[in-house]
Structure 1
């Protein structure tokens, strides 16, 4: 996974310049854009930063029987890495405990996507090297679903894919895992029509066939797969167009609203999940709607969801906040 650091930095710098100067052309690789801002772009500095960031001992604290059960996937934020080290640590510590996967399916948020569900076939280049996209798996999805899913432009500058990849690279380096891993990036929408109706998407929505194929992949492939659900929560206040500032009472109300939403995810109750969102039209701008709807379809009752951490990032300068959570999906059988 990791080439010589000087080669990695040179390749990364060259690619970044190409993407800057030739943005009208599609390159064979997506280049990380947040490095140098949210984390160092020098490979050695990046590794040191993320090692300290993840803590000296990033292994999960065993609680009850959680520590010995198979990790199927994690819930992680994609907020700026500088905002909450603890939220990221609480999410990714579950992957530090489990055996390294061969493939990570990353369910991100399509902040710039036009499609409800979008894939990309390109590899990803960070300061820590190149991560190979699982083009075979992506092409299988494309052939079976037979609907427009490719949207390369939406995957450029998409931090909900970038942050999981660089964290996975760093963690595997510090654990001494030299075997490369692959990734399958899927950007998910807010399913606005379903939210407006207060009910799950219609049967013709590609979500159901996509979930069925991903479920089949998880069950049948001869290699290990884990999901990373890379989402944030509510976005509230003047920064996001609300005509009010966030006061302590607003913060408490948001937390209550979100607790109810997360309980529907824990119960795998998609009808109530959308009904709850529909009652206020998702006025809190919760951005993980599509990703959570998809993961509920993928796992169904075959996974136990545990939310382990919640935080509200409040910015006094504009009296606005963003929420995010961490958690894990565990195999209930082992």
Structure 2
């Protein structure tokens, strides 16, 4: 559908998956759970009009129906067209404007608000991830000596306020111990049902545009086959890649050229429920082989960035009771078992540690971490930092860690 510029002949269509809830007296807020579109406050009459944005009726037809069904409301087609135009500008309509945004050559940031929008305040905010109490300090310009090369890092994808110095520990290791110019970012997919989702979009941050290695992406897509671009919305609302890109830009953007390969990985809960190693799934095993193959063909050094958190517990995640001290202690102990498995760099042991508890604590980093261990095949891992975020009223707790993998 063309973007609505006037009331002449256009048939507005609301995007699927939007939601509305009461706002102030007599008003409602229409919002996008994917956070791509901006929320819009509507009157009851406007909401009734929007309910008819099905792509089959023009603004004049909608106005006529409303005036017949609700004679106390008098609207004209031009008012409905203006409403449609406002929703289109908010990216709430299924229109070229929306699809140009999500399929365009550059992915726009969606996490601004959880981090600073302007370059200098953002640099100050990111500096604190390294220099705040307990932080590792800013990375050294000279490379740290190491007996083995860094193959991958695990870092959180919590917002920077809560993830704080754990980010610093992970990214300091990355900066000092790899000369890679291609960073394959393997992140948890929170919104898409697809197992794997690639994008060729470059990523915009307040610090500039980070280029995606489109040749690398295409080699993966060609070798894997159909499916990796199946969900065109997978990357648009996703924070797990964006938060790592901002930090890479902060550390490397003015020091050396680099590119990224953004890969989202969906749930492996089916493997947990079947108590079957993920490599037994044909699609997963195929992706492991493809990623190994494409890295072997790369002329540039490659490092993997795992974007994943650990446990998610509490009422926010549908647990029946608030988080308390004994529960936190138990979860922390189980997290330590997961991290000990990671330090062996044994993907099978890592998976079995989580599967043994049925992934009851919703470890969202399971999929990207398992995949990276399989692909990068490190010899050992090292836990760099660990934290538990706890809501002050016990509504939720999320744990996360930074770890490095060598070999």
Q: TM-score, normalised by structure 2?
A: 0.70
Q: Does 1:87 align with 2:87?
A: no
For the structure 1 residues 276 and 215, does the alpha-carbon distance in structure 2 shift closer, same or farther, using more than 3 Å as the test? same
2:26 alignment counterpart: none
Unaligned runs of 5+ in 2: 1-36, 39-87, 92-96
2:98 alignment counterpart: 23
Segment drifting more, 200-209 vs 282-291: 200-209
What is the CA distance between 1:86 and its match in structure 2? Answer: 1.1
1:42-191 alignment, distance < 5 Å: 42-55=118-131, 57-59=137-139, 67=146, 69-150=148-229, 151-173=231-253, 176-177=254-255, 179-191=256-268
Separation of aligned partners in 2, 1:321 and 1:39: 21
Separation of aligned partners in 1, 2:146 and 2:352: 34
> Matched residue of 2:304: which SS?
strand
Separation of aligned partners in 1, 2:374 and 2:382: 17
> Matched residue of 2:352: which SS?
helix
Separation of aligned partners in 2, 1:221 and 1:273: 28
What is the aligned counterpart of 2:403 among 298, 303, 327? 327
For the structure 1 residues 254 and 294, does the alpha-carbon distance in structure 2 shift closer, same or farther, using more than 3 Å as the test? same
Backbone CA RMSD of aligned residues: 2.5
> Higher relative contact order at CA 8 Å, sep ≥6: structure 1 or structure 2?
1
Separation of aligned partners in 2, 1:309 and 1:171: 19
Separation of aligned partners in 2, 1:330 and 1:99: 10
> Matched residue of 1:50: which SS?
helix
What is the CA distance between 1:69 and its match in structure 2? Answer: 3.6
1:11 alignment counterpart: none
Separation of aligned partners in 2, 1:19 and 1:281: 44
For the structure 1 residues 20 and 228, does the alpha-carbon distance in structure 2 shift closer, same or farther, using more than 3 Å as the test? farther
What is the CA distance between 1:169 and its match in structure 2? Answer: 0.7
Unaligned runs of 5+ in 1: 1-15
Greater Rg, structure 1 or structure 2? 2
What is the CA distance between 1:68 and its match in structure 2? Answer: 5.4
Separation of aligned partners in 2, 1:19 and 1:127: 22
Contact 1:315/1:321 (CA < 8 Å) preserved in 2? yes
Separation of aligned partners in 2, 1:103 and 1:303: 21
Separation of aligned partners in 1, 2:342 and 2:89: 39
Contact 1:29/1:122 (CA < 8 Å) preserved in 2? yes
Separation of aligned partners in 1, 2:350 and 2:174: 27
For the structure 1 residues 273 and 70, does the alpha-carbon distance in structure 2 shift closer, same or farther, using more than 3 Å as the test? closer
Q: Does 1:238 align with 2:238?
A: no
Separation of aligned partners in 2, 1:204 and 1:19: 42
2:361 alignment counterpart: 284
Per-residue CA distance 1:28-77 (angstroms, 9 max, x = gap): 21111112x122111232223323433394237xxxx9745421111100
2:285 alignment counterpart: 208
What is the CA distance between 1:256 and its match in structure 2? Answer: 1.6
Segment drifting more, 111-120 vs 90-99: 90-99
Contact 2:130/2:169 (CA < 8 Å) preserved in 1? no
For the structure 1 residues 272 and 53, does the alpha-carbon distance in structure 2 shift closer, same or farther, using more than 3 Å as the test? closer
For the structure 1 residues 19 and 235, does the alpha-carbon distance in structure 2 shift closer, same or farther, using more than 3 Å as the test? farther
2:351 alignment counterpart: 274
Per-residue CA distance 1:246-269 (angstroms, 9 max, x = gap): 111111111122222233333344
For the structure 1 residues 269 and 168, does the alpha-carbon distance in structure 2 shift closer, same or farther, using more than 3 Å as the test? closer
1:8-19 alignment, distance < 5 Å: none
What is the CA distance between 1:108 and its match in structure 2? Answer: 0.5
For the structure 1 residues 193 and 243, does the alpha-carbon distance in structure 2 shift closer, same or farther, using more than 3 Å as the test? same
Separation of aligned partners in 1, 2:384 and 2:116: 28
What is the CA distance between 1:138 and its match in structure 2? Answer: 1.1
